[in-house]
A and B are shown apart, each in its own frame.
Chain A
């Protein structure tokens, strides 16, 4: 008919999408290296009434300041490089990781993703307390065992094919005993949430007005036919 109902639908489903992204951000307020996502509006397809919004990283780059934890296996990257974690067949780039050894002495994060060494491959350090130097060299009992890779990963998390290792980076340094906290700002998320709520209300109002109009038109037509 006129597309007003479709516009209302678009507004309400876009609001719902925004709420989901805000929910995901607030979930990860304590997740190291997490970068807040934001929904960016694009064109609205009126034929399908689906919003063509995209979700992207709100503020790329590492958040201000690192947090000291004192754990020997917490590492953060300072400067413009990233660490790679292998997840199945793909890679995920992060700028900080809280690691632990798995049964084979390989360093993995809480989700079981294996840290990648310089030149590729998992980082196996075996037993013993490691000392991690700024260039990524891992010393166990004073012996250099392996070297954690620093890669040019660009902004934000990238997921890549395992056969394509990103280029190594000579920028940045690995800091042991620190994590990069997430850059989720609770205030910003609450504002985003309120905006989404209002957007939904506006959509609902648009639909109600349209409904009123239709009702009135039907009444008028009924009167005419009498």
Chain B
């Protein structure tokens, strides 16, 4: 019926999704190791099919806006000391590789870990590390070195080396999908490179610390205002078109 109405609807939807992304960021401002989602807008353009004559701006016809968001995993959060030996932060851009329930590869940015019933070292929500580190039942505490070597400290103070964690890096940062509990899924085509901690700028393990989220509330608030106003502006267009259509319908009088 009216192109304007559809375009405005596209705008409303894009701004609503932007609001959802911002809401997700704000609600996770205190989630350890949370990476904010970054908003991306791009215009949707139609043009005739086939070879085009060059440099004629006339036929560039915008029909809407596209919106996407992706986790900004390269942006580090502040490392905060918690004193708990079950907290682990990564001071750098690397990930810890996890073994998902169905054998798929998952990535983790650190946080609070725990020991499963069978002794496997796992994330807070119970996904085991791919390194397959088994903590002996008589271990009183764990010590993790900067390079990822895990030591079990027995009740008698005896220290045993029980394995090591590697850090991995992604060749392609775009294929990350966020899951619950600070865990990320990677696409099947993702190119994961496993390297030791400290190499290629991947950083080190820091035990007894937690990485804060990288959400900047000021920035999110400004984004919230902009998205809200843009939403309202698109709603104005819907109203104007609606009035126009009612006017058109009123043209024919009995």
Chain B residues, Cβ within 8 Å of A110: 40-42, 66, 68
> With A19-B237, A71-B38, A193-B236 known to touch, is A27 a contact of B61 (CB < 8 Å)?
no
Q: Are A55 and B234 in contact (CB under 8 A)?
A: no
Could you mark each residue 162-202 of chain B with 1 if its beta carbon is under 8 Å from any beta carbon of chain A, else 0?
A: 00000001111111000000000000010101000000010
Contact partner, B240, options A19, A70, A90, Cβ 8 Å: A19
Q: Are A29 and B233 in contact (CB under 8 A)?
A: yes
Min distance, Cβ B86 to any Cβ of chain A, angstroms: 31
Chain A residues, Cβ within 8 Å of B14: 27
Q: Are B229 and A186 in contact (CB under 8 A)?
A: yes
Chain B residues, Cβ within 8 Å of A157: 57, 60
Q: Are A22 and B237 in contact (CB under 8 A)?
A: yes
Q: Are A127 and B169 in contact (CB under 8 A)?
A: yes
Residue of A whose beta carbon sits closest to that of B62: A24
Contact partner, A26, options B70, B193, B227, B233, Cβ 8 Å: B233
Min distance, Cβ A212 to any Cβ of chain B, angstroms: 9
Could you mark each residue 43-79 of chain B with 1 if its beta carbon is under 8 Å from any beta carbon of chain A, else 0?
A: 1010100011011111111111110101010110000
A71 to B169, CA, bound (A): 19
> With A24-B63, A159-B52, A197-B243 known to touch, is A100 a contact of B2 (CB < 8 Å)?
no
Does B8 sit within 8 A of A, measured CB to CB?
yes
Q: Are B42 and A193 in contact (CB under 8 A)?
A: no
Chain A, range 152-203, C-beta contacts under 8 Å to B: 154-161, 164, 186, 189-190, 193-194, 196-197, 200-201
Does A41 sit within 8 A of B, measured CB to CB?
no
Could you mark each residue 213-249 of chain B with 1 if its beta carbon is under 8 Å from any beta carbon of chain A, else 0?
A: 0000000000000110110011011001101100110
Which bracket fits the contact residues of B? 35 or more
> With A29-B230, A190-B233 known to touch, is A101 a contact of B172 (CB < 8 Å)?
yes
> With A23-B4, A24-B63, A27-B62 known to touch, is A161 a contact of B244 (CB < 8 Å)?
no
A102 to B171, CA, bound (A): 9
Min distance, Cβ B25 to any Cβ of chain A, angstroms: 15
> With A26-B230, A101-B174, A193-B237 known to touch, is A208 a contact of B62 (CB < 8 Å)?
no
Contact partner, B62, options A30, A37, A101, Cβ 8 Å: A37
> With A37-B62, A105-B172, A159-B47 known to touch, is A20 a contact of B230 (CB < 8 Å)?
no
Min distance, Cβ A13 to any Cβ of chain B, angstroms: 10
A187 to B141, CA, bound (A): 63
Q: Are A30 and B236 in contact (CB under 8 A)?
A: no
Min distance, Cβ A152 to any Cβ of chain B, angstroms: 11
Q: Are B58 and A56 in contact (CB under 8 A)?
A: yes
Q: Are B43 and A28 in contact (CB under 8 A)?
A: yes
Q: Are A189 and B47 in contact (CB under 8 A)?
A: no
Q: Are A127 and B40 in contact (CB under 8 A)?
A: no
Q: Which of A30, A32, A56, A189 neighbours the largest number of chain B CB atoms within 10 Å of its CB?
A: A30
> With A23-B4, A190-B233, A211-B253 known to touch, is A28 a contact of B60 (CB < 8 Å)?
no
A200 to B193, CA, bound (A): 61
Min distance, Cβ B199 to any Cβ of chain A, angstroms: 12
Contact partner, B65, options A31, A55, A127, A201, Cβ 8 Å: A31
Chain A residues, Cβ within 8 Å of B240: 19, 193-194, 196-197
Residue of A whose beta carbon sits closest to that of B12: A27
A197 to B193, CA, bound (A): 58
A-B pairs with beta carbons under 8 Å apart, 29 shown:
A19-B241, A19-B244, A20-B4, A23-B5, A23-B7, A23-B241, A24-B62, A26-B230, A26-B234, A26-B236, A26-B237, A27-B10, A27-B65, A28-B43, A71-B38, A89-B51, A90-B52, A102-B174, A109-B40, A129-B74, A159-B52, A159-B59, A161-B51, A190-B233, A193-B237, A193-B240, A196-B244, A200-B248, A211-B253
Residues of B within 8 A of A (CB): 2-5, 7-8, 10-11, 14, 18, 38-43, 45, 47, 51-52, 54-66, 68, 70, 72, 74-75, 169-175, 189, 191, 193, 201, 226-227, 229-230, 233-234, 236-237, 240-241, 243-244, 247-248, 250-251, 253
Closest 5 CB pairs of A and B: A19-B4, A110-B40, A27-B11, A27-B65, A23-B7
Residues of A within 8 A of B (CB): 12, 15-16, 19-32, 34, 37, 54-57, 70-72, 89-90, 92, 98, 100-103, 105, 109-111, 126-127, 129, 154-161, 164, 186, 189-190, 193-194, 196-197, 200-201, 204, 207-208, 211
